[in-house]
A = this chain, B = another copy of it.
Amino acid sequence: MERHFDEELKGLHKELLRMGVMAQEEIFKSVEALKNRDKAMAEDVIASDDKIDKLELDIDEHCIDLIARHQPMAGDLRFITTGMKINAELERIADLAVDIAQRVIEIADKPLLKPLVDIPKLSVVAQNMVRDAIDSFVKKDAELARKVVLSDSEADKLRNLVADELINDYMAKDPSSASRAVQLLLISRHLERICDHTTNIAEDVIYMVEGKVVKHHPEEL
């Protein structure tokens, strides 16, 4: 039975890795859709959400089933409940990619307000954070999780750069830019919120591995 349980835990790893890869893909596609003002790709991101919701539910059921059948001891139990939390965060991350796609559809028919510089950077930061956060969970690697938590300040900086530029250089100078500028500003906030969810994952991993709370206390890293 123990070996069987280990196999099932590895199955859970795989499912969460798959969910993580899907979330990364949706982030990537939503920002590609923005760059190319590609409505079809944005629609595709929105359509994928059902698949991700379904996977979230399957993983959740799998976790409850694992607990009910194997009645795992403290360490394994905490690993599974952390997996349930990560699962929920990944689903929220995919929801935020859908939010981005919806903004893209609203502005796709108009010319882009400005060349995109910081939003694609923020998208790369977000995708890397998601990848590393899931890796840190599967490998129980608190150091890698710390790296993820520290990346969040980079995301905050990029979001602030985007907001300052849009407000001061566009909205405040040309009121006709307001509606498109607001959409770009919201997209940057969706991306930064993706990074926040990823930080939650990394904090959960650190707590699982070390029993140490770093939430909102990065000085304790």
Contacts and interface: CB of A to CB of B under 8 A. Distances in A.
Contact of A172 (B71, B176, B216): B176
Given A175-B173, A175-B175, A78 B53 contact: no
A68 B73 contact: yes
A182 B179 contact: no
Interface string A49-68: 11001000100100110011
Interface stretch (A6-14, A29-37, A80-88, A125-133): A80-88
Interface residues of A, number: 36
Nearest to A56: B215
A109 interface: no
Given A81-B84, A172-B179, 14 more contacts: A50-B216, A57-B213, A64-B77, A64-B81, A67-B81, A71-B71, A84-B84, A84-B85, A85-B88, A163-B182, A167-B178, A167-B182, A174-B175, A178-B178
Interface of A: 49-50, 53, 57, 60, 63-64, 67-68, 71, 73-74, 77-78, 81, 84-85, 88, 163, 167-168, 171-176, 178-179, 182, 185-186, 189, 213, 215-216
